[in-house]
């Protein structure tokens, strides 16, 4: 290699490093990447990173389903890119590698340790393909996380509200979600293959006849260049295409949304759920000026998922969709109580689902001029939530807040006399709850006393 080409090479390398650093630390509003599971990558400055992992074959099948799994993962990533353009400050990464390298627990640990900035959120989407009798099924899983900010000891709760000056808080019933398995017919499997054959390229123009170069998925799968992800900014959406740009490269196009033969959204309703979740995690903590249109879009996506017939087959995931939509409602001062009630009916064994339903109803009753609080019923509701998970610290804290609320002189006019509690009962219960909480804190932090 001559000195001249070596210098030129170093310059290109420097430019790549500077550009990658810029993408990582102060990412543009929307960015995408392809990376190896051996070297997990996230956009450090993004509010939310979504990682799509390959779908692997589970169990025996006369046909190799792993190829289809890779194709589904790329199509899901592209469809998600397409749907996410209404939101900002996200990164969507397709990771590839062997099943062991792409283990979701391992990727989550590595991402949270080094790739997600404090306060940042991570969504993992992965799945499996399996054969039952003659039929092929696909099933997806989603897990989401928030890395605590430097001043937080743990991720904050999903919903925090003040009622009569007392704090009440709740979390959604699960952050680890399973979606119903979906049958893939032979024509649908063929459609996946056809759509992948069209989508696995960077096109020079937004049409299928334009010059194109392949997305180097195999390179990342085999880890030939696994240290450097292929990252690009998402510039705009144009029909079914999205315009992207890599460092020093021309603008190119990805075919992101394909309906021919198989609509991913129609076959895999989790596509809509993930769109809503991405919007929820992006905007849930934004204040005071929230982008109402983007939040409404996220809420609509979650509600569209919940209204799908297939969603009923995994009630806990449907419950979470309703809870997330309800929290977005609360942020926009809309009454979300119906959503939380339905979520509890779907997951009646969930302490968190019951807790959320109770605090939202309490808030609504308290602020409604014509309604009165029924302390006995509300206490029973909180105690039932405790019974479902005796170590749930949020429910006990809420119960304490509730007793303190109804002991306040200013609240007496809001209480239905038929359901009132005697002051000495309130006092004794408060003493009891404080002792329980103190004991629980001591047990969870044995070294602090």
Shortest spacing between CB 393 and other proteins, in angstroms: 10
Residue nearer to other proteins on the CB measure, 16 or 388: 388
Question: Residues near 50 by Cβ (< 8 Å), separated by ≥ 6?
Answer: 80, 84, 90, 91, 92, 93, 122, 123, 125, 274, 278
Residue nearer to other proteins on the CB measure, 72 or 373: 373
Shortest spacing between CB 400 and other proteins, in angstroms: 11
Residue nearer to other proteins on the CB measure, 292 or 435: 435
Q: Torsion over CA of 156, 161, 167 and 168, rounded to 10 degrees?
A: -80
Tokens 């087959």, located at residue: 313
**Which residues would be at the binding site for other proteins (CB under 8 A)?**
344-345, 348-349, 351, 354, 357, 380-381, 383-391, 396, 399, 429, 432-433, 435-436, 438-439
d(CA 294, CA 276): 10
Shortest spacing between CB 340 and other proteins, in angstroms: 11
Residue pair 105/141 in contact by the 8 Å Cβ criterion:
no
d(CA 94, CA 36): 8
Shortest spacing between CB 362 and other proteins, in angstroms: 13
Within 10 A of 154 (CB to CB), how many other CB atoms are there? 7
Q: Which phi and psi (to 5°) does residue 429 adopt? A: -65, -40
Pairing verdict, β 30-36 and 48-58: unpaired
Residue nearer to other proteins on the CB measure, 237 or 429: 429
Residue pair 175/145 in contact by the 8 Å Cβ criterion:
yes
Residue nearer to other proteins on the CB measure, 64 or 380: 380
Shortest spacing between CB 60 and other proteins, in angstroms: 18
User: In DSSP terms, which residues pair with 123 in a beta bridge?
Assistant: 50, 144
């Amino acid at each position: 290699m001559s000195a001249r080409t070596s210098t030129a090479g170093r310059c290109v390398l420097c430019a790549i490093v500077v550009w990658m650093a810029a993408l990582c630390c102060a990412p543009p509003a929307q960015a995408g990447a392809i990376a190896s599971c051996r070297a997990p990558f996230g956009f450090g400055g993004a509010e939310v990173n979504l990682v799509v992992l390959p779908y692997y074959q589970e169990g025996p099948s006369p046909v190799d389903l792993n190829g289809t799994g890779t194709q589904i993962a790329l199509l899901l990533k592209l469809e998600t890119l397409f749907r996410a353009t209404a939101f900002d400050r996200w990164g969507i990464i397709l990771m590839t590698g062997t099943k062991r390298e792409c283990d979701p627990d391992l990727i989550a640990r590595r991402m949270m340790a080094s790739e997600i900035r404090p306060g940042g959120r991570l969504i993992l989407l992965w799945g499996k393909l399996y054969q039952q009798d003659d039929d092929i099924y696909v099933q997806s899983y989603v897990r989401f996380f928030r890395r605590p900010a430097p001043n937080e000891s743990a991720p904050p709760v999903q919903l925090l509200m003040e009622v009569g000056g007392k704090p009440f808080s709740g979390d959604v019933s699960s952050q680890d979600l399973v979606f119903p398995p979906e049958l893939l017919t032979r024509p649908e499997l063929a459609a996946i293959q056809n759509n992948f054959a069209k989508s696995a390229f960077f096109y020079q123009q937004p049409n299928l006849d334009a010059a194109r170069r392949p997305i180097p998925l195999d390179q990342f799968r085999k880890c030939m260049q696994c240290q450097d992800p292929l990252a690009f900014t998402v510039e705009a959406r144009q029909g079914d295409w999205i315009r992207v740009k890599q460092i020093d490269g021309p603008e190119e196009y990805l075919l992101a949304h394909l309906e021919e033969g198989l609509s991913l959204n129609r076959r895999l309703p989790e596509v809509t759920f993930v769109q809503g979740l991405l919007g929820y995690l992006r905007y849930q903590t934004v204040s005071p000026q929230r982008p109402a249109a983007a939040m409404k879009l996220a809420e609509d996506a979650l509600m569209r998922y919940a209204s799908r017939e297939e969603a009923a087959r995994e009630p806990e995931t449907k419950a979470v969709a309703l809870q997330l939509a309800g929290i977005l409602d609360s942020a926009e001062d809309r009454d979300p109580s119906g959503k939380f009630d339905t979520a509890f009916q779907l997951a009646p064994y969930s302490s968190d689902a019951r807790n959320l339903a109770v605090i939202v109803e309490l808030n609504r009753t308290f602020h409604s001029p014509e309604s009165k609080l029924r302390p006995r019923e509300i206490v029973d509701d909180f105690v039932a939530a405790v019974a479902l998970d005796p170590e749930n610290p949020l429910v006990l804290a809420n119960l304490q807040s509730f007793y303190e609320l109804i002991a306040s002189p200013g609240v007496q006019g809001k209480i239905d006399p038929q359901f009132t509690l005697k002051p000495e009962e309130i006092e004794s219960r408060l003493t009891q709850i404080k002792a329980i909480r103190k004991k629980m804190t001591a047990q969870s932090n044995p070294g602090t006393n």
